[in-house]
Amino acid sequence: QVQLVESGGGLVQAGGSLRLSCAASGRTFGSYAMGWFRQAPGKEREFVVAISGRGGSTYYADSVKGRFTISRDNAKNTVYLQMNSLKPEDTAVYYCAARQSPSDHTAYTAQYQYDYWGQGTQVTVSS
């Protein structure tokens, strides 16, 4: 069982930056592929970015390419989402997710592919 706790959300003006963190429990964090998803008010949850277990593969949604960067520190059991040039349309609750994955070549983009989810952290971007 993996427990995930997100932090770092908040209120920021358009054009600003935030860094989200997702801390995971467990001793084998490096064997888990991680992802970030978000859900805006009145919309379905959507994929944002994913990273393989040791960071060898990443995949970004087109809407965040060039603005968001995912990284992980397996020694700290933490994955990060650096969000720059934020836009009002980035406003959402951001969730991190995890799944076991023996491969460092695969970043998973679909919600059903993940087994563990955090409680979410609110990001609000004002115009």
Query: In a structure prediction context, what are the per-residue pLDDT tens digits for the chain, which is 127 residues long?
Result: 899 999 999 999 999 999 999 999 988 899 999 999 999 999 999 999 999 999 999 999 999 999 999 999 999 999 999 999 999 999 999 999 999 998 888 899 999 999 999 999 999 999 9
With contact defined as beta carbons under 8 Å apart, do 35 and 47 qualify? yes
- Which residue's entry shows tokens 């650096």? 82
Q: What CA–CA distance (Å, rounded) separates 103 from 97?
A: 17
Using CA atoms, how far apart are residues 127 and 100, in angstroms rounded to an integer? 39
* Chain length of the chain: 127
- The single residue listed with the structure tokens 């009145």 is 42
Do residues 34 and 51 make contact, with C-beta atoms less than 8 angstroms apart?
Answer: yes
CA separation (Å) from 98 to 41, 49, 86, 109, 126?
23, 12, 25, 11, 30
